[in-house]
Amino acid sequence: MRVIIEESAEEVGRRAARILARQVREKPDSVLGLATGHTPLGVYRELIRMHTEEGLDFSQITTFNLDEYVGLEPTHPQSYRFFMQRHLFEHLNAHPSRIHVPDGRALDFASFCRRYEERIRMAGGIDIQLLGIGRDGHMAFNEPGSSLGSRTRLKTLASETIRDNARYFGTEDRVPRLAVTMGVGTILEARQCLLLANGPHKAEAIQRTIEGPVTSQVTASALQLHRDVIIILDEEAASRLERVAYYRDVERAQSLLESGGLRALGIGPGTGNG
């Protein structure tokens, strides 16, 4: 796992956007796994800027979103579909037929979830999966106790998540109780995972994700089993990590590797440092 600590939430967004932009430049028909919530907003702002000012081309990408509330129409202002349209898709040139957000109004969820998984496979699998994290350590809507091998399915929201998300709905009783979400196993199949977190309220979940045991009680901790994970944090989200000095050392070595500064020691690029 590569842990990158940036000075501010804005820097976290810009750093993640640079990684995604590089992926799209190197492979224009990339398959991107996308996330909702407050955390990825800075990433999306920066991608839109790159598209409008620098001509970054998204015309060939395919996207799959992580999750959606059950029962909300795509036009509902709190639906994740609406969020994605408003904060990303309507500003880019991605082709609508290659944009996928789980359908919270599916009539048969079991078959919808099977087809969603199938579509990811048909698209060639996800190249980079963007992730946020809940205060209880969940990724997507994989609440504590979710099987680490789980696939796209319906999930009952935990009371902590309902409380956290009530700020978007006005009151707790308006928050849907169920969501359709990619599983932990689905997420782990992405070729690279990019987890972002900002703010002191994420510090404990981040400490448990990175330095705690792999456990279904903190589903993001399953990322420890993945071979290519980058975690980008602001100082506050990193504030409870015990091995910060080491993560910073790794980053210094990594930038030397990338800039060729270690060539004098006979160490070349592509050695990997995760």
Q: Strand 153-156 to strand 178-181: parallel, antiparallel, or no bridges (unpaired)? A: antiparallel
How many whole angstroms separate alpha carbon 256 and alpha carbon 71?
50
Binding of residue 176 to ligand GLP (CB under 6 A):
no
Cβ of residue 245: shortest distance to ligand GLP, in angstroms? 27
Q: What is the bridge-based pairing of β-strands 192-197 and 229-234?
A: parallel
Task: Return d(Cα 196, Cα 220) in angstroms, integer.
Answer: 11
Three-state DSSP at 234 gives: strand
Closest alpha carbon to 10 in 49, 39, 42: 42
Q: Measured at the alpha carbon of residue 251, what is the angle toward residues 271 and 18, in degrees to the nearest 5?
A: 90
Interface with ligand GLP (CB under 6 A), residue from 38, 86, 174, 177? 38
DSSP for 235-255 reads TTTTTT-S-HHHHHHHHHHHH
First to last CA, the chain: 5
Catalytic hit among 136, 164, 189, 234: 136
Catalytic residue among 6, 46, 67, 234: 67
**Is 143 considered catalytic here?**
yes
Closest CB to ligand GLP among residues 134, 183: 134
Q: Which is nearer to ligand GLP, 155 or 257 (CB)?
A: 155
228 is catalytic: no
Largest CA distance in the chain: 62
Nearer to ligand GLP, 67 or 257 (CB): 67
For the question of residue 173 being annotated catalytic, the response is no
Helix axes 41-54, 9-26, angle to 10 degrees: 50
Of the candidate spans 25-33, 134-142, 214-222, 225-233, the one that interacts with ligand GLP by CB under 6 A turns out to be 134-142
Active-site residue, from 51, 138, 189, 234: 138
HEC states along 83-146?
HHHHHCHHHCCCCHHHEECCCCCCCCHHHHHHHHHHHHHHCCCCCEEEECCCCCCCECCECCCC
Q: How far is the CB of 137 from ligand GLP (least distance, A)?
A: 10
Minimum CB–partner distance for residue 35 and ligand GLP (Å): 5
- In single-letter form, the type of residue at position 75 comes to T
Which of 161, 186, 207, 221 contacts ligand GLP by CB under 6 A? 161
13 binds ligand GLP (CB under 6 A): no
Query: Do 223 and 195 touch, CB atoms closer than 8 A?
Result: yes
* Residue count, binding to ligand GLP (CB under 6 A): 13
- Interface mask (CB under 6 A) for ligand GLP, residues 43-72, using x and -? -----------------------xx-----
140 touching ligand GLP, by CB under 6 A: yes
Binding mask 180-219 for ligand GLP (x = CB under 6 A): ----------------------------------------
122 strand-pairing partners: none
Binding residue for ligand GLP, selected from 141, 146, 153, 235, defined by CB under 6 A = 141
- Catalytic residue IDs: 67, 136, 138, 143
Contact set with ligand GLP (CB under 6 A): 35-39, 66-67, 132-134, 140-141, 161
